[in-house]
Chains A and B, each alone.
Chain A
Amino acid sequence: MAREIAAPGGIAAMAGATEVLVARRPAWQRLLRTAVRRPLGTIGGGIVALICVAAVGAPLVARYDPAQSFQIQNSHYNPNVASDKGYNTTTALDQYVQDSKSAPSAKHWLGTDEAGRDVWSRIIWGARRSMGIGVPTMLLAVAVGAMLAVVSGYFGGIVDTLMQRVLDAFQAFPSLLLLLLIGSAFDLNARNLVLSLAFVGVAQVSRVVRSKVLTLRELPFVEAGRVLGATDLRLMVRHILPNTMGTVIVVFTIGIGSVILAEASLAFLGLTHAGVSWGMMLNSGRNFINSSPWQAVFSGAAITLAVLGFNLLGDTLRDVLDPRLRI
């Protein structure tokens, strides 16, 4: 912003002066100070970092193939079963059976699921699924939402009123209901899931960013730009948009948490199909929760931890970047 106004003399001197007055420490030192002062945000950032590592490095972090079904020696196995008529043949025939629904052990840190697959490995791969839906969804939502918000907030008038009414209409649907409606018309594969979640996200992003634009457009630097002959397009793209970035980053971070939650809800209801998904794991784990609660408890904990991480990080980013923002 300072660089923008720097060309003509008087204003440049003022902008430059404020720049000099604030003695700036190196970026990493400032980051460290913020981290120490805001422990909750640091915890959130740590959780988010862990999830990113799990998502990116899933093949390395997971101990086994998430689809691999483990076998175990059958304790009821009886090689003489064919000649022994009185024996229960269904459990005695096979030498190996699936190692299903086992409790946590050194071999399977979080136990195994109903098909003998390693829950820990599946939770790690589930992080890839959650982030693989969450990040592209919010990137799309933020790109479209911020653009709409800047245009409608900047021009105001009839465009703005129309857009507000459309957003109000979307607001009338609880977001899960909107997703179910979209799910009734489209097959919710990964691409459609991202598109429909982003569609829901755009309404929320643009609402928040628009209110920021409304305050920004009244500020002197926008007026100054206009006096200097900047076009509407230039004012929007070079002056207002960069100043919404704090808000956008906060919305982006908190948004990923809610997208992860929405994906988990849809997967929980069995409306999406993926190789591995936390919501799916929680749903299937519910069927044998009394005999072996591991899968349900851990996959649900993964969803909670992920949402918690993004919420804590987002809250702290808001306190730092845009304290007046209310989400």
Chain B
Amino acid sequence: MRWQQWAIPASGLPVVAFLAWGLTTDPHTIPSPLPGKPAPEFALETLSGDSLRSSALKGQVVLVNFWASWCLACRAEHAVLVEAATRYRDQGLRVVGVVYEDSRDNARAWMAERGGDWPNVLDAGSRTAIKYGLFGVPETFFIGRDGRILYKQIGPLDQEVIERWVPKLLAAGGAEAAAAPLDTFAEGRSAGHVRVSPESPTARGTARPK
């Protein structure tokens, strides 16, 4: 009979443990299945009308940044992105913007006003956004030279996030990185069958918002 005295309180333990786990877990954080997987491919039109194929970025460290001009949090983030793109350019960091639910004109005006000379693509029908499992803007994917997603940032980037992930990505396979062509974007040369060019002349070199 003695075990029964303990069995009843003991049967409460799993319930307590379950409650403790459930009540301390934030139901709003949804784990993404994407980190660790190869980054989804896309071939989209840039703001300047060229087409950009993600395969042209193979072997480089890429930040794929989803944004929109109507997105308030993207404003603060943009300066961080400009800064990161400038600082790590020589080490081979590439940034690609994907415009989410926004018009070409709005996106162009944004880039012209706020700077940044990386290519931005228009995602008609949000097919690429779906491929990347997007919940909203801004979201940024940190992609390594092996083409795999290392990290997904939900919400605006800040300096700390950049410093935590970008050097790590750049350090991985650094030797081959130096050999990788750095000029595909800057000079608008063709990479394979795809011509890649900077967004607009006004956007070049203007690193800070006016």
Does B bind A?
no
Instruction: Tell me the B residues contacting A by CB distance below 8 Å.
Output: none
Instruction: Tell me the A residues contacting B by CB distance below 8 Å.
Output: none
